[in-house]
Amino acid sequence: MTTSTKNAATPVAPSDAAARQGTRIRLENVTKDYGLAIPAVSNISLTIEPGEFMTLLGPSGSGKTTTLNLIAGFETLTTGSISFNGTDVGTLPPHKRNLGMLFQNYALFPHLTVVQNVAYPLRERRMPKAEIARKVAEVLQLVQLTGRDDNYPSQLSGGQQQRVALARAIVFNPNALLLDEPLGALDRNLRGALQMEIRRIHREVGSTFVFVTHDQEEAMNLSDRIALFNNGHIEQVGSPEELYRAPETLFTARFLGDSNVFELGAADLGTSVSWEGRTWAVAEGTVSSHPSVLSGSAIVVRPEDISIAADLKSVPAGANAVQARIRDLEYMGSYRTAMLAFGEKGLTGRARIDALDATHAIGDDVVAWWRPQRQRIVAA
Amino acid sequence: MTTVLTEIEDETVDAVVPRRPRRRDRGVDPIPWWLIVVGVIVALYFILPTLFVIPMSFSSASTFQFPPKDFSLKLYENFFTNPVWLGSLGNSVLVATLASLLATIVGTAAALGLHQLTGKLAGFVRTLLMVSIVTPSIVIAVAVYISFLQWHLVGSLGGYVLAHAAIGVPFVLVSVTSALGGFDPKLLRASASLGATPLRTFLRVTMPLISRGILTGAIFAFVTSFDEVVIALFLRSPTFQTLPVQMYNSVTVEIDPTIAASSSLVVVAVTIIFLVPQLIGARKRSR
């Protein structure tokens, strides 16, 4: 919104988005220690590129929210540094960091109307009244909330309140937008709709977005990259596809999507590995580069990569196979999930099979197989 | 995408507009008749003596009389023409205004500070600030008198204001603390992220949202000072005394029925003061 467009229907022109490339946020060896048993955030380094949609994903207590608060300036660093476009902001108070923020409970000012809420950051920046009015109208159009200018937050639905909060957080053209589980309080349908909204606004605004969530589906849908947090450190950073297809650790594999896990222990990872006496081929480029992979590893196979055959003879050459018993079949509409018990010890697993495939029944002894290229050996 | 959104929104809009729950909605048992009788008796016991002075104030007699034999405004004329009565009223208003102002600032600041603290220290400080509410007035009065003698504050406006502000602080602390109970601390973070300094955040977010608590506390502090008599008796001087002290004198020294008029005025004034926040609150809700 640095350059104004006369046409109100398209409040943000493409050239506008280009003018506002966003900020590079760099965290170097950041630690936040409250003096508890383990630091809330321990020695993490992460670079968020300009205009990137970065999601900090992880279970509760993993340090993702603390990291966001460190970026926002609500928490002080124990050690390490944070910089925006190369400028150190470690000691800057929150109100000088020029960051928009979206909260789970919206945090709208209840005593101000929609327009007054959105105008708040502009008034703090002592912008002329006419310009404030113009920008507020523009941004409300961008978030598709019009005709509610003089309503108070309590008169709006949850989705509408979150739109007001979003408008308020981007109207002043912040360095970046920080989103702290902003969709957590909304019901499922509305959440999906607002996810699309956030993605659209990210495209149109072109600013750096840092999104915190514990919902892996949300993270996969929205992000350019995901930083997966675990126990105060970053487990893995990468695109949703990288994290799903090429996890480095068992934690990552288990956190994103379903997986079948065959634990190998401290195995010799050559061209083949063995699990309970079976020898399986290892394809090139499917072994994690994580340093602890040699001291303990596991094979991860996604359910959609496992096929079921009646016997060993029908398994294609070169595939890895294991005996399994079908414990249960769940009809999911577009596919069927076969709950499996692998090997002699009956390791629990699952395969996704064709919804129309009715050749197998519960209790059948079958062979589960997959291509070595589709398996991943991760650090356990 | 847009149509999907509108559909979902339309369904939820009306459902979330909050309504204040009515008393009846809570589903409590009906109040038994005997409880109503007891309640009325207690209420009358509290209110009646106060109401007695109002008919008395319209008497024309030069001594106390109840019920009054005739109607006159003589006592009010006395009150408003006698410089001693008027002067003491002016002093009381001045002291109460300044004392409540001071108490409101200190009490609000204390409530805000203590709201952020947790643990033993906060509890201790809170108790310390509340001590004057449970300490007998005479103890405070003697303590104030002894220390103010040394500081040459006895009989001065400053002395009255300081002493009365001290006893007003707990009221402000309590009402502002309860107002902060419903205050979402996330709003402070939101405001900071939007570029507001802590002071601006206080002025534009915190204060408007806890204004009823502040106002209530200020009114209690004002009224506490306005009708405070024990400390005022100790601090009085020939040149400066407050209305309650003058009223006390008028009974014990002069037997002057003008006190009936002044009492009535105080009752009416205090009632109006207490009604102010109620009226403001009612107007806000109907908005």
CATH number of the domain within which A357 lies: 2.40.50.140
Q: Where are the domains of chain B?
A: 84-286
Residue A222 near residue A195 (C-beta atoms within 8 A):
yes
- The tokens for A363 are 């209790």
Q: Which domain holds residue A374?
A: 246-379
Amino acid identity at A270: G
Q: Using CB atoms, pick whichever of B12, B194, B208 lies closest to residue A121.
A: B194
Query: A19, A3 in Cβ contact below 8 A?
Result: yes
Task: Yes or no: say if A362 and A327 are a contact pair by the CB < 8 Å rule.
Answer: yes
pLDDT digits (tens, 9 = 90+) for A226-243: 999 999 999 999 999 999
Tell me if A5 is assigned to some domain: no
Q: What is the pLDDT of residue B65?
A: 67
Mean residue pLDDT of chain B comes to 83
CA pair distance B112, B180, nearest whole angstrom: 8
Q: Are A319 and A369 in contact (CB under 8 A)?
A: yes
CB atoms within 10 A of CB A228: 27
- Helix axis angle for A114-124 and A158-170, nearest 10°, is 20
Whether residue A350 is contained in a domain is answered as yes
Tokens of B129: 């600030």
Our measurement of the distance from residue B199's CA atom to the centroid of its chain's CA atoms, rounded to an integer in Å, reads: 26
Tokens for A329, please give them.
Answer: 């079949």
**Number of independent structural domains in chain A:** 2
Q: pLDDT tens string for chain B (287 positions)?
A: 344 444 444 444 444 444 444 444 555 678 889 999 999 999 999 888 777 788 888 887 777 767 777 788 888 888 888 888 899 899 999 999 999 999 999 999 999 989 888 778 888 888 888 888 888 989 999 999 999 999 988 888 999 999 999 999 999 999 999 999 888 889 999 999 999 999 999 999 999 999 989 999 999 999 999 989 899 999 888 888 899 988 888 888 877 788 888 888 888 888 888 887 778 766 655 54
Same domain, yes or no: A61 and A186: yes
Topology given in CATH for the domain delimited by B84-286: MetI-like fold (1.10.3720)
Q: Could you tell me how far CA B26 lies from the centroid of its own chain?
A: 30
Give every CB contact of residue B182 below 8 A, 6+ residues apart in sequence. Answer: none
Is A198 inside any structural domain? yes
Which residues in chain A touch residue B13, judged by CB atoms under 8 angstroms apart?
A: 156-157, 160
Amino acid at A272: S
pLDDT value of residue B98: 96
Clarify whether residues A235 and A323 are in a common domain: no
Distance CA A277, CA A280 (A): 10
Q: Decide if A225 is inside a domain.
A: yes
Q: What is the predicted pLDDT for the residue at A115?
A: 95
Inter-chain CB proximity A160 and B9 less than 8 Å: yes
Contacts of A189 in chain B (CB under 8 A): 8
Do the beta carbons of residue B186 and residue A105 sit within 8 Å?
yes
Q: A112 to chain B: nearest residue by CA?
A: B205
Tell me if A1 is assigned to some domain.
Answer: no
Contact A155 B186 (CB under 8 A): no
pLDDT in the model for residue A251: 94
Residue A16: the pLDDT is 44
Q: Which residues lie below 8 Å from residue B248, measured CB to CB, with a gap of 6+?
A: B229, B233
Residues 6+ apart with CB under 8 A from B218: B100, B101, B103, B104, B172
User: Do A213 and A324 fall into the same domain?
Assistant: no
Do A212 and A327 fall within a single domain?
Answer: no
* Edge-first strand listing for the sheet containing A297-301: A260-265, A297-301, A375-379
Query: Is A99's CB within 8 Å of B190's CB?
Result: no
What angle (nearest 5°) sits at the alpha carbon of residue B32, between those of residues B28 and B38?
120
pLDDT attached to residue B5 = 41
Residues A153 and A251 reside in one and the same domain: no
Say if residue A70 is in the same domain as residue A209. Answer: yes
**Interface predicted TM-score (ipTM) of this complex, two decimals:** 0.79
Question: Which stretches of chain A drop beneath a pLDDT of 50?
Answer: 1-20
Tell me what pLDDT residue B284 has. 58
Q: Which of A212, A241, A270 is the last residue of a domain?
A: A241
Pair (A94, A188) in one structural domain: yes
Report d(CA A32, CA A67) in Å as an integer. 8
Which residue blocks in chain A are alpha helix, DSSP H? 14-19, 64-72, 114-124, 129-142, 158-170, 188-205, 216-222, 240-245, 250-255
Q: With b meaning 16 or more CB within 10 Å and e meaning fewer, what string describes B250-274? A: beeeeebbbbbbbbbbbbeebeebe
Task: Write the DSSP symbol of residue B254.
Answer: I
Q: Which pLDDT belongs to residue A355?
A: 82
CB atoms A120 and B196 under 8 Å: yes
A146 with A267, same domain: the answer is no
The letter for the amino acid at A68 is L
Q: Cβ(B153)–Cβ(B198) under 8 Å?
A: no
pLDDT on residue B1: 38
Residue burial A256-269, b: 16+ Cβ < 10 Å; e: rest: bbebbbbebeebeb
Q: Alpha-carbon distance A300 to A244, whole Å?
A: 11
> What DSSP assignment string belongs to A125-191?
TT--HHHHHHHHHHHHHHTT--S-TT--GGGS-HHHHHHHHHHHHHTT--SEEEEESTTTTS-HHHH
Q: Quote the minimal CA–CA distance from B8 to chain A in Å.
A: 7
Residue A7 inside a domain? The answer is no
The pLDDT value recorded for residue B27 is 57
Residues A236 and A252 in one domain: no
Clarify whether residues A224 and A95 are in a common domain. Answer: yes
B contact set with A (CB within 8 A) = 1-2, 4-5, 8-9, 12-13, 15-18, 184, 186-187, 189-198, 200, 204-205, 208-209
User: Tell me, what DSSP letter sits at residue B109?
Assistant: H
Residue A9, in any domain of the structure: no
Considering the domain architecture, whether residues A211 and A271 belong to the same structural domain is answered as no
Same domain? For A323 and A184 the reply is no
Domain with residue A26: its CATH number is 3.40.50.300
In a domain, A80, yes or no: yes
Fill in the DSSP letter of residue A20.
-
